[in-house]
Structure 1
Amino acid sequence: MSLTGTLDATATDDGVTFTFTVENTGTDPVELQFSDGQTHDVIVLEDEDTEVWTWSEGRMFMQMLQQETVAPGDHVTYECAWEDPAPGSYVAEAFLSASNADCEASAQFSV
């Protein structure tokens, strides 16, 4: 299983938009299996170790099994937004919430 992740963090006047792309760089399809409605998560760190925001915190996800197939050379994209962050420099870490596959990515950004 060959998954490669990239994370883009785009700061605007309204907040920061995160775009997490998971690409299948292998030669076989990858079937991602999720145990609930959560497909990914994004954590924002200040000073490289102090967690200041987590996308999934306070959210409820539907209790349902779901799956998504990523063909070789194809990708899936997940987006979320952090509204009204404090000014500063941060590191965002995104990861796939699949029960059968791992994929992570990180990005540095400033607000």
Structure 2
Amino acid sequence: MTLEGTLEADVSTADGESRPESVAFAFTVTNAGSEPVELQFSDMCKAEFVVRDGDREVWRFTEGRMFAQMLSREAFAPGESSTYEAEWERPRAGEYTAIAELRAQEASCEAQTSLTVPE
């Protein structure tokens, strides 16, 4: 079964009105197809989050972190969604692009959004 075209994604951010101490990310993956989809993961990190300033990477969720190496599966019925979250602590002020990518073994799915961290 091919997954191309069946998964849709959206990433959003939440931060405070003033300079935030952290930025929270929510990456939602939805099965937009008419058949169930089962994803397999090789560790407990199911999504990667990256913040870029133009061509320069300024933060990566998995950098310096370790995740349990455990095979797992996640099933999505048609129309079903799952949300993966991450938090960028102590962000610097600026204009960025946030990118989220699913880390499933046999499926590729990503989304991006603009992000402003105030002074």
Range into which the TM-score falls when normalised by the shorter chain:
over 0.9
1:35 maps to 42
2:112 maps to 106
Gaps of 5+ in 2: none
Gaps of 5+ in 1: none
What displacement does 1:100 show?
Answer: 0.9
Q: How does 1:1-111 map to 2 (within 5 A)?
A: 1=3, 2-12=6-16, 13-47=20-54, 49-111=55-117
CA distance in 2, matches of 1:63, 1:81: 21
**SS of structure 2 residue aligned to 1:85:** coil
- What root-mean-square deviation, in Å, do the aligned CA atoms of Structure 1 and Structure 2 show? 0.8
| Cα contact 1:11–1:110 (8 A) shared by 2 | no
- Identity fraction in percent: 45
What displacement does 1:84 show?
Answer: 1.1
CA distance in 2, matches of 1:41, 1:85: 17
| TM-score (norm. length: structure 1) | 0.96
Structure 1 stretches of at least 4 aligned residues deviating more than 3 Å after TM superposition:
none
Say how many residue pairs are matched.
Answer: 110
What displacement does 1:11 show?
Answer: 2.1
| TM-score (norm. length: structure 2) | 0.90
Amino acid at match of 1:80: A
What displacement does 1:36 show?
Answer: 1.2
Amino acid at match of 2:13: A
CA distance in 1, matches of 2:15, 2:52: 15
What displacement does 1:14 show?
Answer: 2.1
